[in-house]
Structures are given as structure tokens and as C-alpha cells.
Amino acid sequence: MIRIVILISGRGSNMASLLAAAASAEMPGRIVGVLANRPDAAGLAAASACGVPSRVVDHRLFASRDQFDAALATAIDCLEPDLVVLAGFMRILGEAFVRRYEGRLLNVHPSLLPAFPGLHTHRRALAEGVRIHGCTVHFVTPDLDHGPIIVQAAVPVLDGDDEATLAARVLAQEHRVYPLAVRWFAEARLRLRDGRVVLDSPQDGAAALIVPNAA
Ligand code: NHR
Ligand code: GAR
């Protein structure tokens, strides 16, 4: 069983999807802790309700990004994780932090990278008029939202969509593909080698691109 730590900033629905997956027999991993950079993150209560220890490392209490990163790393290392998972985590992490967890730090991003890195992805997708949008699970590298891609899921953009309807359609796919990628890692089938993603026997992920018919 690998040890998994989840970092959140808010609602924590991706965290909840990972907790649910970890509770099933197919996942050889255990969520050993949840850390938030905001004391008001709603996901903290959900973690407690599942009996998962949680802690806040409030970025506003640190004079610099590097000091916050160092405190966050100390909190993470107390939990001795094999894998660290960003799930709606909203602070950019510095190079030293990212290098420390290289090859065992994942993120889910709400766009089909490399389109729309950064924030407000759904608003920007609507503004650009793209017809296909989605989400991406990737290894985190120092270069924001540009790490090696593990799995993506696409959804249509429908006439009449607004930011909320589009975000909800994408989020449903995040809840499918993030547990899948974490399970691959826990099964030791997924790794980073020379900056490239290696996935052993990818049959169940031949659907690296998952395009559901139903909106
Ligand atoms: N850090 C590194 N080095 N590399 C990545 O790929 C990272 C990362 C930290 C977070 C998640 C990412 C996303 O999926 C992520 C990937 C926050 C911002 C941001 O601009 C951008 C992208 C992501 C997360 N944050 C502002 C900041 O100043 C704060 C915004 C806020 O608090 O609302 O850190 O989208
Ligand atoms: C998710 O859509 C996630 O991809 C996105 O925020 C939402 C968090 O929801 N992440 C980012 O935008 C990171 N900058 P959740 O808290 O319910 O998982």
C-alpha cells in the first residue's frame, strides 16, 4: 500500500473522489493526510469526516513563497508519502519544492493542456470558442501546468454553456481520470523516466482520451 498525501485549497471534490477510490479494494494506496493552504477550505471537514488527518499550512502566515513551500514540505514529510497529489491546490510551488517530490507529485488541471494553462480555464475556453474542452492529469514540474501528461478526458462545449455548466461537465471527468492515474501510480505501473511518462500495460487506459457521448 503506498502512502498518499492530498493538497487542497477549497471544496475538495477531487479529494473526495480519491478518498472514495482509496476505500475500494482496487486501489493499493492509502490517503494518509490532507493539507490545505487555507483554513476555510471546505474539503478539510470532508477529510475529517472520513477519518483522514488534516492540517492547515496557511500561506498568508509566511513572509515569502519559499518559506511557505518549506513549511508545506515539512508538513508533508511528517506523513512520509510515496505520492503527493494536488487537488484544486491554488498556490504555485517553487522549483526546490517541486524537485523534492519529482516523479511523485501529480496535478489535475481543468483544461486540455497545453491549452489554457493557469487560471480561469473555463472562461477562457468559452471566450476562444473551442468546441472541445476537458481536463489533464500530469506530473508536476517547475514549469507551471507544463509537466508530462498522464491522462486526459475531453468533453464537448455545448451551445448555451456558461462557466458553471462547462466547469461541472469537466469536473465529472476529473473525478474519473484522477483516481485512475493515482491507481496506476499505486500499482507501480506509472512513472516518470527522463521527463517522459511511462505507463505499463495501459489497456485500461487505452482510453487515454475519454470522450463521453453524454454531455
Ligand atoms: N506548481 C508548479 N511549480 N508547477 C505546476 O504545474 C503547478 C504548481 C502549483 C499548482 C495547479 C495549477 C492548476 O492546475 C498547480 C500546478 C495555481 C495557480 C495560480 O496562479 C496556477 C495554476 C495552478 C495553481 N495561483 C496563484 C498564485 O499566486 C494564486 C491564485 C489564488 O490563490 O486564487 O500562486 O491550475
Ligand atoms: C477543479 O476543477 C480543479 O481541476 C481546479 O479547481 C477545481 C477544484 O475543485 N484546479 C485548479 O484550478 C488549480 N489551479 P475541487 O476542490 O472540488 O477538487
Residues of the chain with CATH 3.40.50.170: 1-101, 108-215
Least Cα distance to 104 among 77, 125, 83, 134 occurs for 83
Whether the model pTM is above 0.85: yes
Give pLDDT tens digits for 111-120: 999 999 999 9
- What is the DSSP track for 54-104? EEE--GGGSSSHHHHHHHHHHHHHHT--SEEEESS--SPPPHHHHHHTTTS
Instruction: Give me the mean pLDDT over the 207-214 stretch.
Output: 48
CATH of segment(s) 108-215? 3.40.50.170
CB–CB of 84/105 below 8 Å?
yes
Give pLDDT tens digits for 62-113: 999 999 999 999 999 999 999 999 999 999 999 999 999 999 999 999 999 9
Question: 86 pairs with which residues across the strands?
Answer: 7, 107
Q: What is 1-101's CATH superfamily?
A: Formyl transferase, N-terminal domain (3.40.50.170)
Q: Which of 91, 139, 146, 149 to mutate to test the pocket of ligand 1 (most atoms within 8 A of CB)?
A: 91
Count of helix runs (H) and strand runs (E) in the chain = 6, 10
Gap from CA of 119 to ligand 2 centroid (Å): 10
202 vs 165, higher pLDDT: 165
Amino acid occupying residue 166:
L
What is the predicted pLDDT for the residue at 35?
Answer: 98
The values of phi and psi at residue 186, to 5°, are -65, -30
Gap from CA of 174 to ligand 2 centroid (Å): 9
pLDDT of 210 above 70:
no
pLDDT of 193 above 60:
yes
Rg, Å, the chain Cα set: 17
pLDDT of 215 above 70:
no
Give pLDDT tens digits for 37-51: 999 999 999 999 999
